[in-house]
């Protein structure tokens, strides 16, 4: 039987796209407030994905059942986490935020066991715990020392809630009725944008006088991580499950290091190599054993 390589390719693409979202958010916040940033990227993604859904023939959601599920996903798994993360990045650096956000795989494992009542092997718990240890080591003592720093407690708590929100979104996608991907993503984005509209409508006015670079960053956030990225997330979770999808959180810092070394000419230190090795070991351990076909 041929291996289903498509989910692996999609996850690799998501690592690149979502790994760039932290930097794009930082740039966008130079011209927009946190809630304007989250509303702007969500609203833009809603427009783009809705057009794609209509052109593809899938259309936008047309039943109350679909809107109920997609509204839940749009608020809990998208709008609220994106807004909290944007707000947190005003107060703490991305390296610290990434430690908390990268705990998503552990929250998903917990939710899979408690909510979905699916068995989770010790192998996965061990592998994901080792991977998270590698992420903490990658962030380094300087970042870790800021955890709990005065004035940053609320921002760090927000990041934990963001991780829980993303994990909850993966569980919702897993249990909700099957909906064509473009239609599902369009409904999710529309619901998220409507939820954020009363708080971030000023983004329209701000965009008229915003500097060009933050505006471009906001547009990129809407099209790539929020639009295309969420479409791919839906497909991968439906195809392979939320636990498989959650490895993206561990791989994003690895991609950031790759970009730094090969593109930005940043040094590759022994500390970085050791952290990447720990993350890789954790991911290898967490993989399910391939069952041999019996005669």
* pLDDT for the residue 280: 77
* pLDDT for the residue 53: 94
* Averaged pLDDT score across all residues of the chain: 83
Number of neighbours of residue 160 by Cβ within 10 angstroms: 15
The winner for highest mean pLDDT among 10-19, 209-218, 229-238, 253-262 is 209-218
User: DSSP alpha helices (H): ranges in the chain?
Assistant: 6-19, 21-28, 34-56, 64-74, 80-88, 94-101, 104-114, 122-144, 153-175, 181-200, 203-209, 212-221, 229-240, 242-245, 248-262, 270-286
| Confidence class for position 291, pLDDT limits 50, 70, 90 | very low
Share of the chain above pLDDT 90, in %: 38
For helices 34-56 and 212-221, what crossing angle results, to 10°? 50
Average pLDDT estimate for 215-231: 91
Better-scored residue on pLDDT, 175 or 272: 175
- Asked if pLDDT for residue 7 goes beyond 70, the answer is yes
Average pLDDT estimate for 70-92: 92
| Confidence class for position 199, pLDDT limits 50, 70, 90 | very high
Better-scored residue on pLDDT, 16 or 192: 192
Cα–Cα distance measured from residue 246 to residue 103, given in angstroms and rounded to the nearest whole number: 9
């Amino acid at each position: 039987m041929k291996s289903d390589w498509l989910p692996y390719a999609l996850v690799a693409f998501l690592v690149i796209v979502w790994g760039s979202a932290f930097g794009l958010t930082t740039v966008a916040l130079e011209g927009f407030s946190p809630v304007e940033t989250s509303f702007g990227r969500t609203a833009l993604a809603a427009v783009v994905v809705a057009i794609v859904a209509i052109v593809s023939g899938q259309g936008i959601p047309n039943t109350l059942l679909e809107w109920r599920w997609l509204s839940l996903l749009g608020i809990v798994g998208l709008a609220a986490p994106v807004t909290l993360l944007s707000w947190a990045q005003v107060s703490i650096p991305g390296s610290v935020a990434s430690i908390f956000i990268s705990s998503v795989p552990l929250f998903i494992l917990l939710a899979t066991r408690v909510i979905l009542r699916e068995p989770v092997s010790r192998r996965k718990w061990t592998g994901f715990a080792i991977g998270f240890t590698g992420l903490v080591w990658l962030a380094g003592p300087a970042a870790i020392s800021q955890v709990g720093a005065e004035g940053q407690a609320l921002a760090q708590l927000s990041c934990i809630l963001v991780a829980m929100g993303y994990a909850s979104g993966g569980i919702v996608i897993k249990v909700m009725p099957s909906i064509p991907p473009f239609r599902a993503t369009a409904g999710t984005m529309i619901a998220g944008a409507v939820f954020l509209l009363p708080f971030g409508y000023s983004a329209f006015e701000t965009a008229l006088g915003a500097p060009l670079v933050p505006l471009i960053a906001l547009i990129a956030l809407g099209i790539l991580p929020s639009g295309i990225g969420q479409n791919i997330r839906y497909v991968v979770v439906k195809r392979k499950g939320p636990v498989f999808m959650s490895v993206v959180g561990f791989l994003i810092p690895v991609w950031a290091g790759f970009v730094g070394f090969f593109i930005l000419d940043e040094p590759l230190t022994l500390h970085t190599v050791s952290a990447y090795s720990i993350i890789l070991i954790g991911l290898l351990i967490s993989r399910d054993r391939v069952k041999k076909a019996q005669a």
